[in-house]
Amino acid sequence: MSLCPHLCSGPKKRIQTQVAMGVLCSTILLFVYSNWQMDEAHRIPAVQGHLRTSSPEPPEGPVPKPRASPAVPVTPPLPLVLNVTVSEHFRKFFPLNGAYWSRLLHYTLRQHDQLNGTTAPEKWSECREANRELLKTNMHDFDAYPDMHKDFLRGLHCQGPPLLIDQPQKCTSDSDGTFLLLAIKSAPSNFEQRQAVRETWGREAVYQGGLRVHTLFLLGSTSDEHPHLQPLLMFEALHYRDVLQWDFHESLFNLTLKMHTFIKWSCSNCPAASFVFSGDDDVFVNTPAMVDYLRALTPAAAAEVYVGEIISVARPMRELNNKYYVPLSFYENVYPPYAGGGGFLMSGALMGRLSQMSALVPLYPIDDVYVGMCMQALGISPKMHRGFQTFDVAPYEREYVCRHKQLLLIHRRTPRNIKLLWKGINSPLLTC
């Protein structure tokens, strides 16, 4: 989509702020308008639940007559045709059990096996309401869940949040393409972290051999308590052109939605990126070392990168007060091996299949575990790399620049430390 050619590229480099603001406003208006149009075009009835614990109803058959609101046409659930194969290993790892996530998974697997497709997620604006009845029917103890979990479950099928700030030309404005796309999870108010990353490891640059690194910060919406943030963000996005923002509440359990949505976005906007990094805005990344590592991979290895610090045997937390608590009636299994969410690498070539798989595997409240699930379903095993330290290095090494020079990623560092370390590893005076 090229809504803003003079804003995002072109010969005129310096556009006056007012003009740019004007263009931004019209872009947003256009966006709102086109989303509204789509909403109108694909409207489906709100009561159309798509979970049944038995096998799905045959797709053909009498269409029930609309009762309450004849203005809304009743259509059968839209099958979403998927072109992915679910690995046997994944099927064995997740046998059907009584937990809701497992029942959901097997419901979509059955659909997938029978129809080579699955039901498209409900329309963003309607799905929370539609999901209410579904939860009441399928979860006997829903009322006993903590509020955060209730909220997550209500939005489980809501997977297409509208974009508030887009960067459609991120990967297409340079003719030499994107070698590494840094997709950094950030929260609207983390201005300082983003600035530190931009000035250091996230600086867009061309590395040796013409390998280009592009950077994007992934954000949810600002809360109503901070109405002044959104205009600042708009300005930041206009100035740096590295902010992607969607209209969903920024929260821990919405990080999976952020991941899911970003993967979909990258398939349409950065399909040729060789590698994608997903990570937090409070990590230190040795970008030159990361580029060197990726450049040295054989073509076969480069096609199946899922690399980071691998957590190979983990199970859900069952203590109610734990940040990552997961109720047993929602999920019974252990976790598949996964790369720690502080930062990991994926092949760009996997993003298409990953996007399809994440239409099939029900969302899980913990984003890095969820990526592990989808990768396992694709038959991709995570690979451990000792250069990823998502639990940090030993305390006595934390200020030791040479240690950081050898590593690829360390979690976590303050904006000030990020700047100091970056200066250190790039200093010609450094002798390690």
Ligand X SMILES: *[C@@H]1O[C@H](CO)[C@@H](O)[C@H](O)[C@H]1NC(C)=O
Place of tokens 């430390």: 417
- Nearest distance, CB of residue 389 and ligand X, angstroms: 29
Out of 80, 115, 229, 232, the only residue in the binding site for ligand X (CB under 6 A) is: 115
Residue 255 Cβ, how far from ligand X at the closest point, in Å? 9
At CA 351, angle to CA 345 and CA 355, rounded to 5? 125
Give least dist CB 250 to ligand X, A.
8
Q: Is 397 in the site for ligand X (CB under 6 A)?
A: no
How far, in Å, CA of 387 to CA of 405, rounded?
Answer: 10
Residue of 43, 103, 249, 398 interacting with ligand X (CB under 6 A):
249
Cα distance between residue 103 and residue 8, in whole Å: 46
100/152 with CB nearer ligand X: 152
Site membership for ligand X, residue 116 (CB under 6 A): yes
Residue number, 39 or 151, with CB nearest to ligand X: 151
Window contacting ligand X (CB under 6 A); options: 24-32, 104-112, 175-183, 243-251: 243-251
Whole-angstrom CA distances from 55 to 77, 90, 121, 358, 377 are 14, 20, 18, 21, 21
Contact between 251 and ligand X (CB under 6 A)?
Answer: yes
| Strand partners of residue 243 | 217
Q: Is 47 in the site for ligand X (CB under 6 A)?
A: no
Nearer to ligand X, 149 or 383 (CB): 149
Say how many C-beta atoms besides its own lie within 10 A of residue 163's C-beta.
Answer: 17
The window from 37-45, 201-209, 251-259, 416-424 that contacts ligand X (CB under 6 A) reads 251-259
Nearest CA-CA partner of 125 in 156, 150, 162, 152 = 162
Token representation of residue 420: 């100091």
Site residues (CB under 6 A) for ligand X, limited to 121-150? 148
Strand partners, 314: 335
Cα–Cα distance between 378 and 373 in angstroms, integer?
Answer: 9
Q: How far is the CB of 254 from ligand X (least distance, A)?
A: 4
80 makes contact with ligand X (CB under 6 A): no
How many CB atoms within 10 Å of residue 309? 23
Q: How far is CA 138 from the centre of its chain?
A: 27
**253 is a contact residue toward ligand X (CB under 6 A):** yes
Select 236 or 250, whichever has its Cβ closest to ligand X.
250
Nearer CB in complex with ligand X: 133/199: 133
Output the CA angle 155-157-158, nearest 5 degrees.
65
Rounded distance between C-alpha atoms, residue 315 and residue 395, angstroms: 27
Q: Taking the complex as a whole, how short is the minimal distance between the CB of residue 155 and ligand X, in angstroms?
A: 5
| Residue from 109, 115, 81 nearest 94 by CA | 109
What's at 314, amino acid-wise? A
Choose the stretch contacting ligand X; rule: CB under 6 A; options: 8-16, 103-111, 197-205, 248-256: 248-256
Based on CB atoms, which residue is closest to ligand X, 115 or 297?
115
Concatenate the DSSP letters of all residues of 183-222 into one string: EEE--TT-HHHHHHHHHTTT--EEETTTEEEEEEEEEEEP
Out of 254, 261, 347, 358, the residue judged to bind ligand X by CB under 6 A: 254
Query: Per CB under 6 A, which of residues 145..204 are in contact with ligand X?
Result: 148, 151-152, 155
- To ligand X, the closest distance from the beta carbon of 131 in angstroms equals 11
Q: What pairs with residue 249 in β-bridges?
A: 221
| Residues contacting ligand X: total by CB under 6 A | 11
DSSP 416-429: HHHHHHHHHHT-TT
Residue closer to ligand X, measured from CB, 43 or 249: 249
33's CB contacts (< 8 A; 6+ apart) are none
Q: Least CB distance from residue 411 to ligand X, whole Å?
A: 23
Q: Which range binds ligand X by CB under 6 A, 250-258, 293-301, 369-377, 390-398?
A: 250-258
- Give me the least distance between CB of 90 and ligand X, in Å please: 18
Is residue 284 involved in binding ligand X (CB under 6 A)?
no
Residues in a beta bridge with 201? none
Q: 350, 381 in Cβ contact below 8 A?
A: no
Query: Closer CB to ligand X, residue 47 or residue 115?
Result: 115
Is 248 one of the binding residues for ligand X (CB under 6 A)?
A: yes
370 binds ligand X (CB under 6 A): no
Window 5-24: contact mask with ligand X (x via CB under 6 A): --------------------
Q: Say which residue the tokens 């199970």 belong to.
A: 315
Residues interacting with ligand X, by CB under 6 A?
Answer: 115-116, 148, 151-152, 155, 248-249, 251, 253-254
